[in-house]
Structure 1
């Protein structure tokens, strides 16, 4: 091989490496953008299940932080028509004003930005009421254990961020082996056609907290990319079954449903009540939106 041929070969190999690196970075960003909206990826997967991790970013960059108390929870009372298991609290007392939250602006995904929450959370919040078009759901908050998550949700509720928002994903066990409802994408159409459903957020992220609790029935947790830490946003997931154990712990849990589980369990009987979008950008088997829309009319914290 001549020197010129060798030079051309090296140049070609270099170009191929650059293209592979660029494709890998683009794929990685696409996965992040997808999962940051899809959050708990299991709700868009027909065959596979993914769980969140609490690993630091691979590039060593600092993720949005949330200074809070150790993982714990509050006990939840049972719904008259659909019982929810209580999880004992292990959180130590927190002094008022001792918690500081950090929220980081994120413009890498589609978003509806209404501002950043304040750094000092209201530690007295105990109840989260979600008024759906299908009925009312009440969540007993774990504010002591997840103050920054509760602070974010409360802030967005005051900004009417969630008002008239469609919950974009609902899965039943026959579709994905789990039973979940996911809401919080301000741009979702939830029509089974919009390939971007699940990518929208509030335009900021924050750190993980209260991640030790498994997703048993009634657990309400924040969704985020399964391969990243500190990417919580406006999307949240409600676990509708004790059989969601394959998801695993690792997500920021904000509370337990104490009223309205019967409403949630009645949203869909099986996959026939869902709209499957095979063209979803995740490429993981299509999203599932409820045929009978689930709409957040309003939400309040007290």
Structure 2
């Protein structure tokens, strides 16, 4: 083999090695993203999938997804930190919501919401033992999610409920508060925390918005679809943008963000549960309980 041939062969092998390394890096990045998404929700949701597969529950007519802008400035009543703001979506056509009874998980059933949502609801106020949170709703884009939350609030489903999951970046790589399990003990020990629901599920909507700080969204198990229930979460950091979209976004916090960010600054403020990170059961709970007193809509 001539010198030129040897050089060409070495160059070809070098190129092949480089391409192989790039493919490995891409596979590793994809696996990390999938792992982070599963860790993000973790054990803090219902883990049993409805028999018969995915249930597409919501019918929307001519709905354009709304957008969240991270560039806008919050109102004077919001936290000093910059929060995303709600951009009104295009007008929608008639909306019909469908909710399907689900008995395969621990639940507290108080009935099924009506099929016709109240499209005039603009704000959701959560009064807790730690302070009050006001959420500007995206009802036009997520009518069936807002309808479900409003129905359960009227039934006093959330009254005196402990928020069962609080995680910080040093524990799980993300920062969020999760609530809505009516059976949760929020002690960091109970292996079934995060599995409880209102006993029904409904479909996906408004699921193309990144989960930046202040975004409020419905939670469902890892890679599930159409399994939304009573549980919701509040994103407490822009780090959650790495998860991407895929969850029903119902609105954005307009008041109370400072209080929420102060609930935990590190794992030292939490009742740690390793099973939460692996998705094997139980949740990482706040050492100082976060208890919902009431939720109201207007």
**8 Å contact 2:68–2:84 — kept in the other structure?**
no
Given candidates 269, 273, 287, the residue that maps to 2:269 is: 273
Q: What corresponds to 1:85 in structure 2? A: 84
Greater alpha carbon shift after TM alignment, 279-288 vs 192-201: 279-288
Of 136, 144, 156, 1:140 maps to: 136
User: Which residue number in structure 2 is paired with residue 287 of structure 1?
Assistant: 283
**How is 1:1-302 mapped onto 2 (pairs within 5 angstroms)?**
41-44=39-42, 61=53, 63-68=55-60, 69-73=63-67, 77-78=74-75, 79-89=78-88, 91-95=89-93, 98-278=94-274, 283-284=279-280, 287-302=283-298
Q: CA deviation at 1:59?
A: 9.1
Q: Secondary structure at the match of 2:217?
A: strand
Figure out how many residues of one structure are paired with residues of the other and give that number.
250
* 141-150 or 275-284, which deviates more: 275-284
Partner-residue secondary structure (3-state), 2:259: helix
CA distance in 2, matches of 1:132, 1:206: 26
The Cα shift of 1:285 comes to 8.7
> Can you give the 5+ residue segments of structure 1 that lack an aligned partner in the other structure?
1-38, 46-56
- CA shift in 2, pair 1:300/1:87, >3 Å: closer
Give runs of ≥4 in structure 1 deviating > 4 Å: 57-62, 73-76, 279-286
Greater radius of gyration (CA): 2
Q: TM-score normalized by structure 1? A: 0.77
1:228 deviates by 2.1
Shift of 1:245: 1.8
Return closer, same or farther for 1:62/1:85 CA change in 2, 3 Å cut-off.
closer
Partner of 1:27: none
SS at match of 1:243: helix
Moved more, 171-180 or 147-156: 171-180
- In the alignment, structure 2 segments of 5+ residues that lack a partner are 1-36, 44-48
CA distance in 2, matches of 1:283, 1:181: 16
